[in-house]
Amino acid sequence: QVQLVESGGGLVQAGDSLKLSCTCSRGTFSRLVMGWFRQAPGKEREIVAAISYAGGRTHYADSVKGRFTISRDNAKDTAYLQMSDLKPDDTAIYCCAARYGWGISEYNYWGQGTQVTVSS
């Protein structure tokens, strides 16, 4: 069973940067498509970004394009979300997720989430 653990959340000010990490265990990380999702209070969960097995294909939500970058290091079984120029609207719980086969929905494995709070 794939297990995912996020880290790197916190409280920052608008315009700051933050990097989230998601470490995978009990799975073949290099065969997994990785995604980052977020859910703000009172809102539905939305996909933020996704990356294919070797990193050659990525997807971003329109709201984060040009500000967030998803990446992965298969040697470290870790995916990352580099967030720049953060805005108060980026405040949410961020979860990483994994699935087999490319897709931006219907992920099978989820981390517990990490809180990101952006103050104005």
**pLDDT tens for the chain, residues 1 to 120:** 899 999 999 999 999 999 999 999 987 999 999 999 999 999 999 999 999 999 999 999 999 999 999 999 999 999 999 999 999 999 999 999 999 999 888 999 999 999 999 999
On whether the CB atoms of residues 26 and 15 are closer than 8 A, the answer is no
Which pLDDT belongs to residue 16? Answer: 98
Which residue, chain included where needed, has tokens 């984060």?
64
Which pLDDT belongs to residue 56? Answer: 94
Nearest to 72 by CA among 112, 21, 5, 25: 21
Task: Give the Cα separation of 35 and 105 in Å (integer).
Answer: 9
Distant-in-sequence, close-in-space partners of 42: CB < 8 Å, separation ≥ 6:
none
